[in-house]
Structure 1
């Protein structure tokens, strides 16, 4: 992975920067990095522990889990604007899936320690970043609930509307 500087303007276009002022984006950008991820490269693996939040700037990532049968299942594709690694970033829990680039991609990274260092002097900025993370997690839960309902309806058409 190649690392590059992140600009405030670029960060403003991401899920983390949408609620931030231009000044706050410039400040947050000083503690973020931009990485280029090559096609097929793993961003992180299931079971690894990391305190880094990833914002997909361009490209796509396959989200997959080990099936225990010698291969993995692709569960979802993350695209530009999505966040990844939210739970590990918040509480240090291991990643529940592996993310692998599908084509070349770029991500912005934010380490937990860098955000925590901003808490005393910039609490509103930290609060808004945390809101963006919570929003992302809620979207994941909504998608999973919808998929669960669709699967139940497929398995037993008598319990659903499909």
Structure 2
């Protein structure tokens, strides 16, 4: 699938103007992963956002006993890695491909470049990331809440 088509259909980039979508497509890189390949590992320094084009990824974390604990499975049009853009901290989980996977990657530098020319579009992206994080937190709280 063409990068522009993927970006144009992602909820993360909704409401962007055609010129903004085209610029993001220029900046993004498309990567393919085979089953079991690692996109990034827990502890890696984060600096990229990934948008799932095709396939699914599994997010896992090592527990205190070093056992791998599955956290979630994500598929199109979801995204991940956004926390690495926000705090440039080490990744808190490992992400690996489940089957054949295609991902678009935008680095922090890509988004800084985009922001310089498209400040309004950049603001929309940040708001959509915040909305997604808020929804994920609500879902996590609901799962952790005691069942009555």
Q: Is 1:89 aligned to residue 85 of structure 2?
A: yes
Please tell me whether the aligned partners of residues 6 and 30 of structure 1 are also in contact (alpha carbons under 8 angstroms).
no
- Number of aligned positions between the proteins: 148
CA drift at 1:20: 1.3
CA distance in 1, matches of 2:3, 2:85: 22
Segments ≥4 residues shifted beyond 6 Å: none
Structure 2 length-normalised TM: 0.92
The correspondence for 2:131, drawn from 129, 135, 150, is 135
CA distance in 1, matches of 2:19, 2:4: 8
CA distance in 2, matches of 1:43, 1:25: 24
* Greater fraction helix: 2
- In structure 1, the residue matched to 2:7 is 11
Larger radius of gyration: 1
- In structure 2, the residue matched to 1:23 is 19
Which residues of 2 match residues 1-162 of structure 1 at below 5 A? 7-149=3-145, 152-153=146-147, 160=148
CA drift at 1:6: 5.3
Greater relative contact order, per chain length (Cα 8 Å cut-off, separation 6+): 2
CA distance in 1, matches of 2:25, 2:60: 29
Structure 1 length-normalised TM: 0.84
CA distance in 2, matches of 1:121, 1:13: 22
SS at structure 2 position matched to 1:49: coil
